[in-house]
Structure 1
Amino acid sequence: MKKRSIRDAIVNTSIRLFYKQGYSNTGINQIIEEADISKSSLYQHFRAKEDLLIVYLEVTGKDTLNGLKEAADKYTIPKDKILSIFEYLERLVQQNEFYGCHFLNMVYELPEDAVKIKEIVKKQKDTVRALFEEILAPLHRAGLADEIYTLFEGALIANKVHNDHWPIVTAKNVIRKII
């Protein structure tokens, strides 16, 4: 296996396992076994399990933001852009392989002293908040972005608790009223 494909195998396996099982429940030996690599190959690319977590958060952060932007970019009117993001979220949470928000899952799982990881999560969440600000700027209602961001995060949390998409539908209904 080429050096790049070994790294890709490690990253892809880690992403899948961290998302499905959680960070704490995924061991290095499982990653090595499922990526079909040697332990030395893993440590040539990553010094520690936390390094894999950082890559996981970076990759999923980019993918998440791209998905939200792609949904919003289908429309020109700010209200439609915001609703499209929530419709994207609604489709996402109804997928069989949806296990919750990558970032919220990690925040709940990590100890208080995992400051570096929590900063990465906060940075990603701030990009979502900034996306709402950007979309609402033409309406001169950028302050509304915080409210919509809170609806977004609350809908994700309530979806995880109830294992149902009604929180996203409810958030969309509120958005229709406030924009």
Structure 2
Amino acid sequence: MTRTVSDARNRLLGTASRLFYAEGLHSVGVDRILAEAKVTRATMYRHFAGKEDLVLAYLAEADRATRDNVEAGVAAAATDEDAVRAVAKGIAGHIRSEGFRGCAFLNAVAEYADPTHPVHVAVLAHRQWFLDTVTELLARVGDAPAELDGRHFVMLRDGAMAAGCLSDPGPIGDTLLEAVERIIKARTSV
């Protein structure tokens, strides 16, 4: 029985994640998610208190996927500079992926503007982790303080994510990689 419930939860979360990312959080109703996931309302409520909990689970999965991608890229890097490049390459690859619709977190925060709302809080926590991570990586490259370069990296990422769903993602990814390379070069030539 546990396996069936787990499969149903996975279908529910997978369907919700696909629909939320493609169409938006508020525009996708619970009834549609249940129908496409082929689960009952009772099954949903066994796993999630409501739609908001499903949205939070979707963001938690997106956060986990981002962290896993960053960790894998950094672990495979031969140098600190290559670790920073790996993070940028991961972002560029995401922008160029099929069905790219921007940043799941920026999309979510646009729909949940109240800074005290749990969805907004989850987005801010993810963004703080990302800023801390890239700042720490950049601090290993050169001797200059890395806080400003970390904020620049995050702004480049945000801009690339927005531009990547509005225009041809290929050049956007290339521009992101070039800009990050300039940050690395500036840090190593100080």
TM over 0.5: yes
Question: Aligned-pair RMSD on alpha carbons?
Answer: 1.9
1:101-116 to structure 2, matched below 5 A, reads: 101-112=103-114, 115-116=117-118
Match of 1:154 in 2: 159
Match of 1:142 in 2: 146
CA contact (8 A) 1:156 1:168 kept: no
Shift in CA distance, 113/175, structure 1 to aligned 2, threshold 3 Å: closer
Q: How big is the shift at 1:165?
A: 3.1
**2:167 aligned with 1:167:** no
Shift in CA distance, 167/5, structure 1 to aligned 2, threshold 3 Å: same
CA contact (8 A) 1:136 1:145 kept: yes
User: Could you list the runs of 5+ residues in structure 2 that have no partner in the other structure?
Assistant: 185-190
2:64 to 62, 65, 68: 62
Q: How big is the shift at 1:177?
A: 2.2
Letter matched to residue 22 of structure 1: G
Match of 2:133 in 1: 131
- C-alpha distance in 2, partners of 1:153/1:105? 11
Q: How big is the shift at 1:166?
A: 2.0
Match of 1:39 in 2: 41
Shift in CA distance, 178/39, structure 1 to aligned 2, threshold 3 Å: closer
Percentage identity across aligned positions?
Answer: 24
What is the SS of the residue equivalent to 1:95? coil
- C-alpha distance in 1, partners of 2:176/2:115? 33
Match of 1:28 in 2: 30
TM-score (norm 1): 0.89
Q: How big is the shift at 1:66?
A: 1.0
What is the SS of the residue equivalent to 1:161? coil
TM-score (norm 2): 0.85
Q: How big is the shift at 1:59?
A: 0.9
User: Could you list the runs of 5+ residues in structure 1 that have no partner in the other structure?
Assistant: none
Match of 1:7 in 2: 9
Q: How big is the shift at 1:55?
A: 0.5
CA contact (8 A) 1:72 1:85 kept: yes
- C-alpha distance in 1, partners of 2:42/2:91? 39
